[in-house]
Amino acid sequence: DNSITAMINERKTKLIVDTGNKYNITSSHLHKTIFKNCKLKEIEGASPRMNKRLICKGYSNAVISISHLAINSKVYVIDGKAES
């Protein structure tokens, strides 16, 4: 298991950190179940398709906290029920 426990907007969750990726993503299933109070914003001037397989539903601004480090970030919500 390569996941870590982190806080996203003060909600505890497990995630995988990919430091080489320029996007922070989560599944629409996770967004509906855990982050349903975080309203999604539309991506302006961009296609909702991030690549041939990922369809982006929108994004929300978030604070991602790991231990004592916290960063402000955008978390993009992709269609589906992603599994790691």
Of the candidates 77, 79, 80, the residue with the CA atom closest to the CA atom of residue 60: 77
> Is-above-0.85 flag for pTM?
no
pLDDT at 84 over 60: no
Residue range 11-39, pLDDT digits in tens: 888 887 777 777 788 888 888 888 888 88
pLDDT number for residue 81: 67
pLDDT number for residue 83: 56
Of the candidates 64, 57, 62, 47, the residue with the CA atom closest to the CA atom of residue 82: 57
Residue range 42-65, pLDDT digits in tens: 887 666 566 667 788 889 888 889
